[in-house]
Structure 1
Amino acid sequence: MVRALDLEDYVGHLIRRAEQVHTALWAAHVSREVTSQQFAVLNALARDPGIDQRTLATATSLDRSTVNHIVRRLTDQRYVTQVRDEEDRRRTLVDLTPDGEQLLGSLIPAAENVNEQLLEALPAAERDLAVSVLRKISHLDGAVGR
């Protein structure tokens, strides 16, 4: 008989479950139309206006094809603009439109609320540690494949 893992102690399973909880909270309290990945793109553009798509992918920890799809969709919705970089025509620069700024501004309070709801599942003394641990795990992506 094969040995089975206890999924309640398996980190990958718990991260997947936590993401399911986040996705449900996001849809219920932030937006059913704007995904958390789209929000990340809008937020990154607010922090660093006019960046190229490769930098945007790095800033959001999304692969370039996903960022390309998200930018195309947000451009179609007139939340972002895309222009060729005059200094390097291979690069496409992306920026928020006024509608994109307004959309992001309307989403931030609800996104902060979801973040608080997730952290409230933990005792106050463990919240900073939990964020720190998740940050460390999320930064393992550079080591993957080595």
Structure 2
Amino acid sequence: MARALDLHNYVGHLIRRAEQVHTALWYRHVSREITSQQFAVLNALRRDPGIDQRTLARFTSLDRSTVNHIVRRLTDQHYVTQVRDEEDRRRTLLSLTAEGAGLLDSLIGPAEHINEQLLSALPGNEREQAVGILRKIASMDDESIHGGP
């Protein structure tokens, strides 16, 4: 008979549950219209205006098809502009509109607040360590995930 995992000690389950908690807090305190992924795109465009979708995908750790969908939606909502790169007509460069910048400004405070809420579950001396551990897990590259060459 196969044994069952103790999900309370299984990292994948805990990460999924933590994401559910984050999503619920985001919906309640930050935005019901803008997702945390859309926020990441807006934030990346504030940090690096004029980047293309491939670079945006890399900066936000989102796959290119997801970024394409998000950019299309944010463009339709007039939060993002797209212009052809004059030096390479195959590339489309992305930037925030004034409306997009205003939206991002309104979301940053609440996003910081829920980040603090999430970290408040930990004693102060464990918060930096927890963020460091999550960074290590999040930075696993495709080579380490798929077993390398």
Class of the TM-score when normalised by the shorter of the 2 chains: over 0.9
Alignment partner, residue 7 of structure 1: 7
Cα shift at 1:141: 3.1
State how far apart, in whole Å, the 2-side matches of 1:92 and 1:44 are.
16
SS at match of 1:88: coil
Is 1:46 paired with 2:55? no
Structure 2, unpaired ranges of 5+: none
Alignment partner, residue 121 of structure 1: 121
State how far apart, in whole Å, the 2-side matches of 1:34 and 1:127 are.
27
Alignment partner, residue 86 of structure 2: 86
Instruction: Give the residue type in structure 1 aligned to 2:145.
Output: V
SS at match of 2:22: helix
Give TM-score scaled by structure 2 length: 0.96
Deviations 1:4-58 (A, max 9, x none): 0000000000000000000000000000100000000000000000101000000
Aligned Cα RMSD in Å? 0.7
Alignment partner, residue 73 of structure 1: 73
Name the count of aligned residue pairs.
146
SS at match of 1:108: helix
Instruction: Give the residue type in structure 1 aligned to 2:52.
Output: D
| Aligned structure 1 segments of 4 or more residues deviating by more than 4 angstroms | none
Structure 1, unpaired ranges of 5+: none
Is 1:108 paired with 2:108? yes
Is 1:144 paired with 2:134? no
Instruction: Give the residue type in structure 1 aligned to 2:103.
Output: L
State how far apart, in whole Å, the 2-side matches of 1:45 and 1:144 are.
28
